[in-house]
Structure 1
Amino acid sequence: MLLLAIETSCDETAAAVVADGRRILSSVVSSQVAVHAEYGGVVPEIASRKHLEMISPVIGQALQQAGVAMSAIEGIAVTRGPGLSGALLVGLSAAKAIACARAIPFVGVHHIEGHIFAAFLEQPVEFPFLALVVSGGHTHLYLVEGFGRYRTLGRTLDDAAGEAFDKSAKIMGFEYPGGVRIDRMAQDGNPDAVKLPRPLMRDGSLNFSFSGLKTAVLQHVAQHPVSIPSAAADDLCASFQRAVCDVLAAKTEAALRETGARRLVVAGGVACNSGLRARMRDLAQSLGLELHIPDRSLCGDNAAMLAVAGNYYLEKGAASPMTLDVTATWDMDSIGEAAP
């Protein structure tokens, strides 16, 4: 099946053409980072308007790069949620319009489901496996037993890891988005220089909390102002990144031992972080696990990742109805086998 995939859950307008849910023929991502930078974060109304402006050009570019005409597309996978309602509506409306005009099926896919199966675009992973999804809005651990079969083992209780990165970067005086800069500066810093907490690391649960870590950074900066660039700023970035990775690694290891899973997928935007990638490689090696972390181009929000699950659902005949609406919040546990 030749699929067109569309992603507009937050501040990237993305489209891709994927064959058989595995082979990427094109993947186009139009970022809104520059648009939202002056506000220090994503402004939902502005994001929606930018999606409206870019959705047609991005889809056209994806088709052109793939070297296929719209008439060759056999189905559409589109993000239904979770995300910003207005942003999601742009992508879903475009998918419905194309599906209606071409008389082809479309399916609404869970955004996090897309992230988890991005790894399959490089190499299929045998079920069951453990998935750690780390992004700006999510820090979750799932046991993945098959398409549509997910069990949430742990979740963030407040700030997600990616949110903590960006908010802590703002506290340090970095421009939005600052998480990438923390990663870059951490490579020159001493991760033991600043004592920071590891929230919930040994509470016995598999849940996460990063608000206390963010507050600790705020208190440290208030007492020890940092200039940029400086060794002190590098040290703070390295210490912060180490604290986040300590918590993620500890919870992931606990989940692996609890479930007995021998395969681990790490996904989401924060999976681009060099410190986290290295830490997960070390963990996998120490436990003798099979580790899958997608290429950085597949970790951030993109449309190609939706095609893996989308292709599966459409081949099973589980197309979405034209009455499908977006859902800003959507629990993965409720998806159900072949019932997106």
Structure 2
Amino acid sequence: MTAKQGIALVDLDEGGVNRAFRKDVLSGLSQPQKAVPARWLYDDAGSQLFEDITGLEEYYPTRAETEILRAEGDTFRQLIGEGRAVVEFGSGSSVKTPLLLSAIAPGAYVPLDIAGDFLRESSAALAKKFPGLPVYPVEADFMGEVQLPSEVRGMKKLGFFPGSTIGNMVARTSVDLLRSMRATLGGTEADRPLLLIGMDLVKDASVLEAAYDDAKGVTAAFNLNLARRINRELEGTLPVESLKHRAVWNDDFARVEMHLEAQRDIAFTVSGESFAMQKGETIHTENSHKFTRRSANLLLLAGGWTPLKRWTDSQGRFSLILAEASEHRDAP
């Protein structure tokens, strides 16, 4: 079975630019603390750079999560059952997604991602690994409710959100996303969907900062790619050579923060609007919140999901949680 051509649900302007990207960048650069939402790090180049990050020595989350997926396949099959449509929020990793699909024997696979070329490439590669599995890629921003392909709407659903991407958002945005996932997956009160979600755990600050500032500079390239994307897609003039990647642990908020720091006073334009940064000023590009068992459960419950089962890797660094949609979609 080859991957279907796919559905594109991204709102582009007459010049082919994602309207939400332009809006978020212009709004974020206008704030006292300049910031751009982390999801815009993942254009095709950014998605490939992140795949490179997952293989780095310092970046433990992928190895830890893969360990859980390898070890708990039988348990996943028992709890999730066969024949569900797996809806992955973000294009599948070449390692993690096949492990889950092999374990639970799904009826279909629907990857959702905003990076269209990367989505189609990863979907085609996965379809080759699972020739009997229908694959329906959907190019969409999964931060809001997404209409799934008609072929899977009547099937039981499992949402798959690995990698602790949920940690990239502040709490209110995470809750909104979890609720929109609930709406995307649908289901009934008698047949509620499931969600298998990765959440990274609080640990020593030195380990966390190294994971987001590797010695080879791949994470720095990933962060700086956002500035290049702004220049390319939004007619920006950001002096990339005058920006430096920074990753710091913020203990008050239990998160690693990524920033682009100006190394000198700079002035630039984006989509015709003028901006300036003083030396030392930053653009906040990503949060990576880390969780305890209690904070993870609280977030899921606020988002309309009831935790059922939790797994951690052998070193207690990372968790995978299986949750069921709560009885009421607007559960507090």
| TM-score relative to the length of structure 2 | 0.28
| TM-score relative to the length of structure 1 | 0.27
Which of the pair has the greater relative contact order for Cα pairs under 8 Å at 6+ separation? 1
Q: Which has the higher strand share?
A: 2
